[in-house]
Amino acid sequence: VMGFSDKLFLFVLLPPIIYESAFMMDRRTFFHNAGSIMLIVVPGVVLSTAVIAVGTVAAGRMGWFTHEGREPLNFSSPLEASLFGSLISATDPVATLAILSTVHISPVLFALIFGEAMLNDAVSIVLYQVLRWYGDDAFSLSAMPVVMVDFLGIAVGSVLVGSGVGLCSAYLQRQVMGRAGHSVTGEMTLVILFGYLAYVASDACNLSGITALLVCGICQRYYTFYSISHEAQHASHHVLKLMASRAEQFVFLYLGINVFLVSGEADLTSQVVRREWGQALLCFAFFEVALCVFARLVMVLCMCGLANLQRKHRPSHFNEMMLMWWAGLRGAMAFALAKDLDNEVIVSLTITVVLFTNLVQGCTTAWLVRRLNLVR
């Protein structure tokens, strides 16, 4: 019987992917462009979610996807459309890095694209959590100030947890492990366990584990990394990259299998049954792909335009904006959040968008870089 738990995604597969991205990033280029990245990430995710939610609800209420009196989503409320918009706005850092590693672009452009991919996962999951907690009440005018405060509270609390655990890791590594003698296995184990501790502790406090893990990874790379031996520093690059790549491969393996399975359980020992797509749902999926591409285009143009106002020395050109738009690949995070919702329609829509962005956009990104004359 084919079955899969979303807890396996959230607590086993996702942490090494996010942690490796945070621990191995280019700190100097990232922090030099942190203002522009945060402007693209935080308001950008909210804008993208809003565009997808409004477009989905508007098309649904016009009856475009009604089949035999049934609707694929509840279009009377913006909740389900907003949940889908929040989870599908998360771009995948590993898929994005895999594509960008095949081309040579400017370090600043690379930092903007990869920095956004790494951080907007955290913003997406915080927005997703807030929408799930409040439900339809999140869209009432009286509740919006409380929702915004909770959104900021989760973000700030997660940052505090992640930074606190990261600093404790650095202190313990220097004071305890340094006196006890260096052990590559012990040092690597302690580094990884503290990263996972930040994730679990933040999740237990109803905060964002992804945000805490990102901040903890950055703190550990900035402080803990220089307290461990040179052998452990060298091993960390290979161990973390191996863990992240294997987790991502497993995610996409299951994602590919899931496309060909009927909803629910399927016996692979007898036969593999293709997923049953209704005509209305198929049209709905194609519509959502186009809407997600459009929403990202609107987000990139608006947020990069605002970022250029404070980037006097190095504004983003139109060709660079087009690459940022096209390089927004979806992956593990979007699929994990969709599975957590336990809504087969949203899972199907997410699979469609993930496949399109990886197979179509991913395969044409290198060609687009050459076409836009962005090769260095």
Predicted confidence (pLDDT) per residue in 105-124, tens digit: 888 888 888 888 878 888 88
Contact between 376 and 105 under an 8 Å Cβ cutoff? The reply is yes
Q: What pLDDT score does 230 carry?
A: 86
Residue 127 has pLDDT above 50, yes or no: yes
Q: What pLDDT score does 183 carry?
A: 77
Candidate from 8-22, 172-186, 271-285 with smallest mean pLDDT: 271-285
CB atoms inside a 10 Å sphere around CB 237: 12
Fill in the amino acid letter for 12: V
Q: What pLDDT score does 265 carry?
A: 42
Q: Which two tokens stand for residue 313?
A: 């020395």
Task: State the average pLDDT over residues 205-225.
Answer: 88
- Pick the closest to residue 56 from 68, 67, 65, 47 (CA basis): 65
Fill in the amino acid letter for 31: F
Residue 173 has pLDDT above 90, yes or no: no
Fill in the amino acid letter for 75: F
Residue 167 has pLDDT above 60, yes or no: yes
pLDDT band at 179 (very low <50, low <70, confident <90, very high): low
Cα torsion angle, 224, 225, 231, 234, sign: positive
Q: What pLDDT score does 258 carry?
A: 63
pLDDT band at 193 (very low <50, low <70, confident <90, very high): very high
pLDDT band at 84 (very low <50, low <70, confident <90, very high): very high
Radius of gyration of the chain (CA): 21
pLDDT band at 267 (very low <50, low <70, confident <90, very high): very low
Q: Which two tokens stand for residue 289?
A: 């792909």
Query: What does the alpha-carbon distance between residue 345 and residue 263 come to, in Å, rounded to a whole number?
Result: 10
Contact between 260 and 274 under an 8 Å Cβ cutoff? The reply is yes
Query: What does the alpha-carbon distance between residue 325 and residue 337 come to, in Å, rounded to a whole number?
Result: 22
Q: Which two tokens stand for residue 46?
A: 């909210």
pLDDT band at 95 (very low <50, low <70, confident <90, very high): confident
Q: Which two tokens stand for residue 278?
A: 């209704």
Query: What does the alpha-carbon distance between residue 9 and residue 266 come to, in Å, rounded to a whole number?
Result: 20
- The highest-confidence range among 3-7, 253-257, 353-357, by mean pLDDT, is 353-357
Query: How does DSSP assign 36-61, residue by residue?
Result: HHHHHHHHHHHHHHHHHHHHHHHHHH
Fill in the amino acid letter for 128: Y
For residue range 358-374, list pLDDT tens digits in order: 889 988 998 999 899 98
Query: What does the alpha-carbon distance between residue 38 and residue 41 come to, in Å, rounded to a whole number?
Result: 5
In percent, the amount of the chain with pLDDT more than 90 equals 24
For residue range 333-355, list pLDDT tens digits in order: 788 788 778 787 888 888 889 88
| Secondary structure (3-state) at 67 | strand
Task: State the average pLDDT over residues 219-243.
Answer: 87
Contact between 135 and 347 under an 8 Å Cβ cutoff? The reply is no
For residue range 15-56, list pLDDT tens digits in order: 888 888 788 877 777 778 888 888 888 899 999 999 999 999
